[in-house]
Amino acid sequence: MYEYLKSLHLIFVITWFAGLFYIVRLFVYQIEANKMPSPEKEILQKQYKIMTYRLWYIITWPSSILAVIFAISLLYINPAFLEMRWMQVKLGFVALLFLYHYKCHLIYTDLQNDKVNYTSNFMRLWNEGATIILFAVVFLVILKNAINWIFGVVGIILFSVIIMLGFKFYKRIREKKGE
């Protein structure tokens, strides 16, 4: 039974992350569509609202809930995991993932109500948040021992810096093409 629950947990974690990755990309498109002339703006906004609604409520939210249900089931079956330091750190990253998910929900709600509070460049950068959390959790789960996951987390921080530099480089290229 444990292996089935673990498999289901992993499947729904994957679909949850897929939803988070794609929803923010849709936010980018929706924000950029907001700057387009009529009637293109209205047509695209309507389509993006439908797409984000379906992604958010049919895939992302249910996946997050099911991932948590199966995680709690796994911890119930084997509560000793809660005493392991790597699991405690992992649960900290899961808490960050929930904060990220909640912030995405707030952004989703604003965009559904035609409130644009962020730039498309901010959203491109925001999109990397889930990637960083994913890397941290995978390192923690696979490496488990303290020294290895510390190196993994340091690697995540370095990876984040590389992403930021890559983002700035990409932004410069986009700005030059726009000139």
Rg (CA), the chain: 19
User: What is the 3-state composition of the chain as percent helix, strand, coil, each rounded to the nearest 5?
Assistant: 90, 0, 10
Distance CA 157, CA 151 (A): 10
Token pair belonging to 17 = 């992350």
CA torsion 123-102-85-158 (nearest 10°) is: 10
Whether residue 90 is annotated as binding a ligand: the answer is: yes
State the alpha helices, DSSP H only, in 34-145: 40-54, 61-77, 85-112, 120-126, 128-143
Distance CA 130, CA 115 (A): 23
Whether residue 9 is annotated as binding a ligand: the answer is: yes
Which residue positions form the known binding site for heme? 9, 90
Which residue positions form the known binding site? 9, 90
